[in-house]
Structure 1
Amino acid sequence: MNAGLFEELLGIESVVDRSHQEQVDIIGSLFDLSYDNGSVNGIEHAFKLSDQVETSKLPEELFTVFQYDLSNGWSYLRKLKYGYTEEDWNFQTEELTKEIFCLRTALLSPGFQNVPVERQCQIYTNLGNSFSYIGRFVEAQDYWNNAIDILPSFSMAIGNKANGLYFYGRLLYDNIHVNLFLLFAYHHFKDALRFPEYLHDEALHGMQQHHDWLHNYVKDFPEEYTRALPNLDNFDMGDDQELRSYRQWCLDNKMYINPLNDLGAYTDACHDCLNLPTLILRANRPPVVLDLFNQIKQEFATARYSYYYSSLGLAPHISDVDVILVETMQAVRYSFYVEQLKIAFRMAYSILDKIAFLLNDYLELQIDSFSVSFKSLWYSGRNAATLRPFFTNSKNWALRGLYWLSKDLYEKRDDFDTVLDPAAKEIALIRNFIEHKGIKVLSDIQFSGVGFKEADISFTISRGDLQGKTLNLLKLARAAVMYTALAIAHEEDKKDRTSLKAIPIGGSAIPLYMKT
């Protein structure tokens, strides 16, 4: 526990006159030792010292490490205050918000690329762990995968990915998918245990226990499945090259509304198969939840293809040939393809509000349909400090994920401290300018143009930057659609199917001729 050093650090009242390196080292060590000693007071003292650091003057790499240390401090404080208690399940937790915000700030900081690769892996792994913990288990996969891509032997990422797949798989309601997820989790635990040098004792013990349980679970599976990962590349992608290219792009970018796509870019995941589970609905009312979910899936598929198509513009589209526009010497791109990119952005963002509209009806929250939004769904009135009673005691993990996903969005009335994504404000600004004002999409290769002295009233962004932000928004929408289906499955499991005067509705697929 290094009690002597802990007491020494506790005695430090000021770091103002210390070097930047000493400031970061003292605060980071005090966070770690305070957690080891179970000292909330020590963590709070470290936060007081951190307030003395002028972060704007820190060198880039130290700023990244400092944000990582702050995230650890918030994580330690949360665990000491709420660990293994009912409060650990609370939807609203200030410590979690700040923990994730600091990790994302570290990830987005210029110094991230220059810190040691082990530190990069720790940041990615901790983000994956935090996202899985809050119910954003779909998005957590990418963070763990990023760590593994950097350092394939980083067993903390491998083992936590296995743990995430285990709990993700247990939520699914397709038994084949459940078994595949648990099988993948088993193999990842095996891989993690091959590299114990990156595991502390508690993590090693936990992963060994999970491995042993899963080993017993899969022991009766065919031997080829327990020996290696199963082959999931059995789907024929077709002879049409255009269709094959689109399908492969969707797989590579994890764009299918299909849990199997989160296991990898396997061809068996090449369809949007995740629908709502069998529902118990009132017999005298149209199946509005199914209708809305169908609409949301179709809009996502359209936004996805609009984004994909927007990147194919090697030659002017036929709709642009007769459109005469004035050259303003600013390298602004005007085209059908740029408009497709904007359409994808708008549609992806709007899907989230439609999910709120669906959940308001399904959960019978009775919010006025003209007032409900993905941000307002969770709170009583316009006060973002008070959760609706339905969510206060909910143990619905996927619904919790949707709540935390809503924190990636920014609205004018928000206190920015409650927002989870450092880039949230800019995303909201871009949406507002696309919908209601003017946005100029510039060439990625800048040309010297007219140097205007007065400010522009339009929002200016490069095409590459808008593409990146739109892709991230599409990934957010995809995850939200999947959380919605799994959250509803959880609520359906709670229903007493023997006492309701209702009919179960599962549903077959609509015929192809209805897709015109």
Structure 2
Amino acid sequence: MDKSEIKKEYSKLYNKVQEKDLSEGQFFEWLSQNERKFRSNEYYANSINGFISDIGFDINSEKVLKCAISRMNETYIESNKSNFDMGNTYLRLGQLKIQSHDSFNILIDSDCFRKGAKALLKVSADDKDYFLRSRTNYANVLKTYGRIYEALLIYDEILEVDPNFGIALVNQATGWLSYIKLYPSEHKPTLLLKKAHENLNRSLDDPRLVSIAGEGILTFVQENIKYIENYLSVRELKAIKAKNPPFLMSKYQRFCITNNLYLNFDLGYYYDKDSLRDSFFPHAIESLEESLQSPGMSKKTYYTFQIFNQILEDFSTARLIYFESSDISLRNYDNNVNFIYALDYSRNSHRYGKIKASFTLLSNCLDKIAHLIRFYFKSIESSQDLYFNWLTSTEFKTILKQEKKKQLLALHSLALDFQRNEIFHSFKSIRNRLTHSFVKVTVLRNPMNEEEISNDDLKIKWLDLCQRVKAALYYSILAIEPNREETTLNLPLYATFQHGIY
């Protein structure tokens, strides 16, 4: 059977969609007829589920999208395309849910976006097109949950693979603009405005932009360019130059800023000397009744500041320990320890001991963030064991629904990613093994063995965990503060997902 005949059937149905002349019943009747007609055709088998997803989203039908997901699960074969189609269909179902219901509660209670994200992250880099699109959509999921800082990290990764990928350029630009609205630094982040302006202009040169996001993206990009130019003139934008860190800086300072490890809001860019220091600070708000109880500060603020100081101490100490593990020769110390040769190619040394200790300290920061949030929003000083996964508990979800703060939602979403079989569970697994048994650093790692990790993977995991802790701190600071007023950059922002996927 000719592929062109199937395409004609697709085209006929899509025309009815465009004319707003297709009901759910008509679609399922069309599907039943074509199932019988094209059942054995390979092209039909490979394209029909993605097409159903497109139709379901276009006619705003949760029933049709659930049909697509059910069919994808029944015929699932591991491939980049199947994971891409599955992920996008879950995202579309999630989008319909938050459009038709209380969006905040849907993001808490529905698992559509989480399932979509997990499927998208299975798409491997061996297919560049699917990889770029899936990672962009994953970053947009993070943005949907208020995880702007992490979304920006993902857009950076995408644009390292393809600097001209238009939809990522657009979404990174709007991510920066969202970030600027919450930017607490005294210096105006004009560099980010300039970079956003450059991104938006460059995105228009990518011929893939419209096919991915639809015709409306062009108007959206032009509107955002004009908004930025109304805030800063074109002449001002051209005059803004990126600053290089000072030549005379220590190796430690260079290590920190190169890897974006300072706890400040500068995203690893250098603006001035304050870009080389940790400046996160929780602006705790007291009620008049609380402040009258103490001539200095209330117990709530005092406890908040103390635990925040402990987090800063743990993070900065972990950062320094890791740096010292690579910058200081430790061989003489190793010679004094009788490390046991276990005949399994594992490596033990003071260097690896420092890295492992640093990893554990970073993990501890996450638990302390849970304590900080619980005390601040419930005024309960807890002596019980409380871990980062408390942010997934029923108790926290009650706080979340009462407060309705996007930054608390971001913390909840991030904590869910650390649970078993989720995206960041490996961090939790490594921390538990380091604390209670052992982790082997090996030359030739067996990927199926949780007790083993390669030297390169350990470094990657450590750097990634730093960013998760930094993200959690960023969300915590904004959650504790009252709702920050937006800047005069009152820009229309949205995260653009894949348009056509079949």
Q: 1:147 to 1:252 in 2, by over 3 A?
A: same
Superposition deviation, residue 361 in structure 1: 1.2
- Residues of 1 paired with 2:186 and 2:271: CA distance? 20
- Residues of 2 paired with 1:180 and 1:486: CA distance? 22
Q: Which has the higher helix share?
A: 2
Superposition deviation, residue 445 in structure 1: 8.8
Superposition deviation, residue 435 in structure 1: 0.4
- Residues of 2 paired with 1:102 and 1:288: CA distance? 41
Superposition deviation, residue 159 in structure 1: 0.7
The equivalent residue for 2:139 is 128
Selected match of 1:45 from 61, 64, 67? 67
Superposition deviation, residue 280 in structure 1: 3.4
The equivalent residue for 2:316 is 301
| 1:172 counterpart = 2:197 | no
Query: Could you list the runs of 5+ residues in structure 2 that have no partner in the other structure?
Result: 1-9, 18-26, 486-502
1:283-331 CA distance string (max 9 Å, x none) = 4235221121121112111112222333346x54332221123323222
| 1:467 counterpart = 2:459 | yes
The equivalent residue for 2:221 is 207
Q: Between Structure 1 and Structure 2, how many residues are aligned?
A: 449
* 8 A Cα contact 2:392 2:412, kept in partner: yes
| 1:338 counterpart = 2:352 | yes
- Residues of 2 paired with 1:308 and 1:475: CA distance? 16
- TM-score by length of structure 1 reads 0.78
Q: 1:294 to 1:50 in 2, by over 3 A?
A: same
* 8 A Cα contact 1:177 1:260, kept in partner: no
The equivalent residue for 1:69 is 85
Greater relative contact order: 1 or 2 (C-alpha under 8 angstroms, separation 6 or more)? 2
1:237-271 CA distance string (max 9 Å, x none) = 535xxx2x322222222212122125589986322
Matches within 5 A, 1:286-297: 286=299, 287-297=302-312
- Residues of 2 paired with 1:42 and 1:327: CA distance? 60
* 8 A Cα contact 1:172 1:486, kept in partner: no
- Residues of 1 paired with 2:479 and 2:226: CA distance? 29
| 1:328 counterpart = 2:342 | yes
Selected match of 1:318 from 316, 332, 355? 332
- The code of the aligned residue for 2:310 comes to Q
Selected match of 1:113 from 118, 125, 131? 125
Which secondary structure does the structure 2 equivalent of 1:461 belong to? strand
| 1:34 counterpart = 2:40 | no
The equivalent residue for 2:200 is 189
1:148-200 CA distance string (max 9 Å, x none) = 22222211101110111111110122242455544433332233234364132
Matches within 5 A, 1:276-425: 276-277=282-283, 279-280=285-286, 282-283=290-291, 284=294, 285-286=298-299, 287-312=302-327, 315-364=329-378, 366=380, 368-380=382-394, 388-410=397-419, 416=421, 419=422, 421=423, 423-424=424-425
* 8 A Cα contact 1:303 1:344, kept in partner: yes
- The code of the aligned residue for 1:256 comes to Y
Matches within 5 A, 1:139-158: 139-158=150-169
- Residues of 1 paired with 2:440 and 2:335: CA distance? 20
Superposition deviation, residue 335 in structure 1: 0.6
Query: Could you list the runs of 5+ residues in structure 1 that have no partner in the other structure?
Result: 107-111, 382-386, 447-454, 494-516
Q: 1:463 to 1:327 in 2, by over 3 A?
A: same
- Residues of 1 paired with 2:170 and 2:371: CA distance? 37
Q: 1:316 to 1:262 in 2, by over 3 A?
A: closer
Superposition deviation, residue 339 in structure 1: 0.6
Q: 1:72 to 1:237 in 2, by over 3 A?
A: same
* 8 A Cα contact 1:14 1:52, kept in partner: no
The equivalent residue for 1:505 is none
- Residues of 2 paired with 1:20 and 1:153: CA distance? 34
Identical positions, percent: 22
Selected match of 1:91 from 97, 108, 112? 108
Superposition deviation, residue 22 in structure 1: 5.2
| 1:103 counterpart = 2:120 | yes
The equivalent residue for 2:246 is 236
- Residues of 2 paired with 1:195 and 1:160: CA distance? 14
Selected match of 1:257 from 239, 248, 263? 263
The equivalent residue for 2:482 is 490
Q: 1:33 to 1:277 in 2, by over 3 A?
A: same
- The code of the aligned residue for 1:477 comes to V
Which secondary structure does the structure 2 equivalent of 1:276 belong to? coil
* 8 A Cα contact 2:243 2:270, kept in partner: no
- Residues of 2 paired with 1:169 and 1:255: CA distance? 19
1:73-117 CA distance string (max 9 Å, x none) = 0111112222275325643321111111111222xxxxx2221x2
Q: 1:371 to 1:13 in 2, by over 3 A?
A: farther
* 8 A Cα contact 2:121 2:135, kept in partner: no
* Alignment RMSD (CA, Å): 3.2
Which secondary structure does the structure 2 equivalent of 1:490 belong to? coil
Q: 1:188 to 1:176 in 2, by over 3 A?
A: farther
Q: 1:84 to 1:196 in 2, by over 3 A?
A: farther
Q: 1:268 to 1:288 in 2, by over 3 A?
A: closer
Q: 1:389 to 1:438 in 2, by over 3 A?
A: closer
* 8 A Cα contact 1:155 1:198, kept in partner: yes
